Amino acid sequence: MALNVEELYQETLIHLEKWDLEQAEENLRQILDVDPNHAQAWNKLGVVFARKKDLRQAEDCFNMAIQKDPQLSNPYSNLGNIYAERGWTDRAKAAYEQALALDPGNPTATHNLGVLYRKSGDIGRGVDLMKQASKSDRHRYKSELRTSQETRRIVRTGWIIVIAIGILLLFLLNR
């Protein structure tokens, strides 16, 4: 049976959410065995190593993801995290700014850049960026809710239940 790379990748995201790093790493290695150019898998493998505190391996994976797809913003943002962890502020800022150049308004990169500015003493700029990140995050969340078929179905069902309860209450109160 052929490996369905995208299904395995989606399963891996669930393992990452649960911090099941061993299974996530195993899945990602399977994906990369089949498709060594899967930039998102390289990026997520870097996330696994970062969570394991193996910053060297994480950095290598993020750089590989960038090599495979230079237009993918997340590896730059993740590299920024690695550089910030190491205290390399200038490199971290450059990485976050590259992520933002590729994905303007990226809430994670914007927030992390704000944290760097705040830590470096530019509190005003840092707070502005962190507020911008929060606003961007809310906007993306709302946009995602509007475009998701599943969310629309759930909201519609919720309203039907509320209306049914309202009608039932009116019926019972008028008896």
Tell me the C-alpha distance between 121 and 126, whole Å. Answer: 9
The pLDDT, as a whole number, for residue 106 is 85
pLDDT digits (tens, 9 = 90+) for 102-133: 998 888 888 888 888 888 787 787 677 777 76
Show Cβ contacts of residue 41 under 8 Å, excluding neighbours closer than 6 positions: 9, 12, 28, 31, 32, 35
Q: Which amino acid is at 17?
A: E
Report the percentage of the chain scoring pLDDT > 90: 51
Tell me the C-alpha distance between 163 and 1, whole Å. Answer: 48
Mark out the alpha helices in 52-122 (DSSP H runs): 55-68, 74-86, 89-102, 107-119
pLDDT digits (tens, 9 = 90+) for 69-85: 999 999 999 999 999 99
73-175, CATH topology level: 1.25.40
pTM: 0.72
pLDDT at 28 exceeding the cut of 80: yes
Domain spans of the chain, in order of start: 1-72, 73-175
Buried b (16+ CB within 10 A) or exposed e, 115-125: bbbbeeeeeee
CATH number assigned to the domain with residue range 1-72, chosen from the 4 options 3.20.20.105, 1.10.150.20, 3.50.40.10, 1.25.40.10: 1.25.40.10
